[in-house]
């Protein structure tokens, strides 16, 4: 696949985990990749360094996706450095420590929705303004990273995260229908138990190993396995696929 068939791709939360795996794989398939990060510049720099070492094109872009001013600045930098945006992966997301709903603060819930939901809306809005044929664009693809938690609910752990990802699912369906005749495909992947650092950030570093018995395939997944699904949805191989919620969860 050459770069003329792909274009510029922005991966939010692209410094680690699923985002980093997606950025690396997309670059190998010809995308010029913008790797977004919030605070960990070293991790994002490592991803960009790997891509460039392999002959690809990549830049880092710092932004908190829940902050509109920072999102606007990020997209302007991508425009200036990489050119026509034709791909967006809304991967940036957070969980919090295990808690029941009756133990959650308003600040915690607000943060969960600001990053996981508002951030996805703001980034998709800017992507549509650039990709849509209605706005003079050439089309493109958006992939939202949801979670199997959106249909499992995560009781006793993080119902707020599950609810936010449920909103991402609904957003995916609505936006896909809204821009389907403007050259933009919108899909989501819903990873299950995946070996990434997000579990440790929620205070459960052994979560995948502890729960793998609940997975029909009897193992956790890898970030690379999720990236394969994301990059396929971005590609021309998925040209007739939109409004899909693709579970990458080992059957769970």
Q: State pLDDT tens for residues 182-209.
A: 999 999 999 998 887 664 555 666 777 7
* Model confidence pTM above 0.85: yes
Identify the helix (H) or strand (E) that includes residue 167: helix 159-179
Say if residue 211's pLDDT is above 70: yes
Q: Is 240 annotated in the active site?
A: no
Beta-strand pair 184-191/58-62: unpaired
pLDDT tens across 73-101, in order?
999 999 999 999 999 999 999 999 999 99
Question: Average model confidence (pLDDT) for the chain?
Answer: 94
Question: Which letter does DSSP use for residue 213 in this model?
Answer: G
Q: What is the pLDDT of residues 127-147, one digit of tens each?
A: 999 999 999 999 999 999 999
Residues 6+ apart with CB under 8 A from 191: 18, 145, 147, 148, 221, 226, 248, 249
Q: Could you tell me the CATH number of the domain that includes residue 53? A: 3.40.50.720
The total number of structural domains in the chain stands at: 1
Its domain, for residue 187, covers: 3-248
d(CA 182, CA 17): 31
Q: What is the pLDDT of residue 216?
A: 83
- Active-site residue, selected from the candidate residues 17, 161, 238, 248: 161
Burial of 79 (0-12, 13-18, 19+ CB in 10 A): middle
């Amino acid at each position: 696949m050459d770069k003329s068939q792909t274009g510029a791709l922005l991966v939010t939360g692209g410094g680690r985990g699923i985002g980093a795996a997606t950025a690396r794989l997309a670059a190998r398939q010809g995308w010029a990749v913008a790797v977004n990060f919030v605070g960990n510049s070293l991790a994002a720099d490592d991803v960009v360094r790997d891509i460039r070492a392999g002959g690809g094109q990549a830049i880092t872009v710092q932004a908190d996706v829940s902050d509109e001013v920072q999102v606007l600045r990020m997209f302007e930098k991508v425009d200036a450095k990489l050119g026509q945006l034709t791909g967006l992966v809304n991967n940036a997301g957070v969980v919090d420590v295990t808690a029941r709903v009756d133990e959650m603060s308003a600040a915690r819930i607000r943060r969960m929705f600001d990053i996981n939901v508002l951030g996805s809306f703001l980034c998709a809005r800017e992507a549509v303004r650039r990709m849509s044929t209605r706005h003079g664009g050439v089309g493109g693809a958006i992939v939202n990273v949801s979670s199997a938690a959106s249909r499992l609910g995560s009781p006793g752990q993080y119902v707020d995260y599950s609810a936010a990802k449920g909103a991402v699912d609904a957003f995916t369906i609505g936006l896909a229908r809204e821009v389907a005749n403007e050259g933009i495909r919108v899909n989501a992947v819903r990873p299950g138990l995946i070996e990434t650092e997000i579990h440790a950030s929620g205070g459960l570093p052994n979560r995948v190993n502890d729960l793998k018995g609940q997975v029909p395939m009897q193992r956790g997944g890898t970030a690379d396995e999720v990236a394969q699904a994301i990059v396929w949805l971005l590609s021309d191989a998925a040209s007739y696929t939109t409004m899909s919620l693709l579970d990458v969860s080992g059957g769970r």
